[in-house]
Structure 1
Amino acid sequence: MANNPIISLNEAAETALREAIGDLVQVDNLNRRYRVSLPIMMPSGGLLDISVYPEPGATFLVSDDGAAFFEVSGYGITRRSFSITARNKADRVGAEFDGNEFLFMRITLDHLKAAIIAIGNLSVEVAREVVEKHMRAKSSTAKETLIRKVGEAFPSAKVTEDVDLYGASTASYQFDALVEINGHRAAFDLFTKDPISIAATYTKLSDVSRAEDNPSLIGVTRNPNAIGPKLALISSVARVIKLDSTSEVFQKSAA
């Protein structure tokens, strides 16, 4: 009987897929814990490692080993600010926060896979939200300017500040301003030349751009030329305008 080309193709595809997954997720046995390297990107652009600690009684402790806190610690963010966000987000997904740095779950074997995914997503979301809040606090003057410029450009529109929008991944992201006019929506969000701001903004815009019924997305910055080559990342998923642009530029960007 001749070989079925469709079956051969499916087998080849499955083999390639398994090899690709093997490269994406790596597990190392380090003394009394397992380190799981995930293809999940932190706001700085680095990938995330999750630790799994076997415990007596057939339970496991799954932890980010302080990865989220380490991610934000170089930005002058207080431990109190981090703790508030970490505790709130951990409670929502049934995880725990040790009150210091670690996010974790204690589970049985049948929940191990789900826990690794949950802690990975939680660590990234905590780091991202803490950094975004910090950036917004530092750029309060720019935020005031943006809201004024949007109001001037769209005097008859409904303008809402600090709006949460969902991405294709179902993660939610906060945008500085959402304009709604004649059934059309446009979301404006500030970013700076800071590497974490660029990475976080790209992640946000990229995810929301792939969601159904997404609004027009506009990244706003004081000086696009100062961003350098990484401006192409933002431009690939949204329009980019200067903060001091005219009302006409704001209107065209939202079209």
Structure 2
Amino acid sequence: MSITRLHEASPETAIVLGSGLGGVAEALGIEAEVSYSDIPGLSASTVPGHAGRFVLSRVNEKPVLIAQGRRHLYEGLSAYEVTAGIRFMSTLGVRRIVLTNAAGAINASFAVGDLMLITDHLNLLGTTPLLGGPHFHDMSEVYSQAWRTEFLRAAEKLVLPLHQGVYAATLGPQYETPAEIRMMRTLGADAVGMSTVPEAIQARALGMEVAGISMLTNWAAGLKAQTLHHAEVVSVGQAASTNLAALLKSVL
């Protein structure tokens, strides 16, 4: 599929899929696809579990653009570079976006495999895609309260556990230490990951409505006797893709 096809579709809604969540695209149905490498300024992720392509789906007869995979700061890119896809989607006419990720659970009342709606975030990355000028955008409500209400209502109908909480973003690629997790818990974080926040900032700066959903793929360091592996993150994400797809289809 060419970039022209994406422009012709004029999708107003987009979804970014995190580690292991690529199966959501297949669950929603694929009409066409285009590789990130075919789009100027974009490139595929080097991380397993990120396909590196845009997929055009259709939900309730409306086009939905799905970004199957993302780039990360720890791959050696700037915050501006990792959000190139957000700016590209804006040129297509995308006005609202769902950002998903795989995250470690910090809140002890959650469970691995559950979903968490992001209510707010802690930017512990030390950077932003808005660097380079006085881009003073309001971040009082990064994640749409109105949209969260829709997701909660849909989850209740589906009898699907859906938590709400604060997402902390760290640089990575190493996982956090138990002491760092204790710090984040003190700061009010309920889950931790290595993505999403730069995209959310860029999307809000472009005027998009944003929803964030974390798939809790593991316990954060120090909460359980465990060794953290990316393969486990991908495996749990793949297993839970069905629930996430059902939730997205219901809301969209």
Q: TM-score surpassing 0.5?
A: no
TM-score, normalised to structure 2's length?
Answer: 0.30
| Higher Rg | 1
TM-score, normalised to structure 1's length?
Answer: 0.30
- Which of the two has greater helix per residue? 1
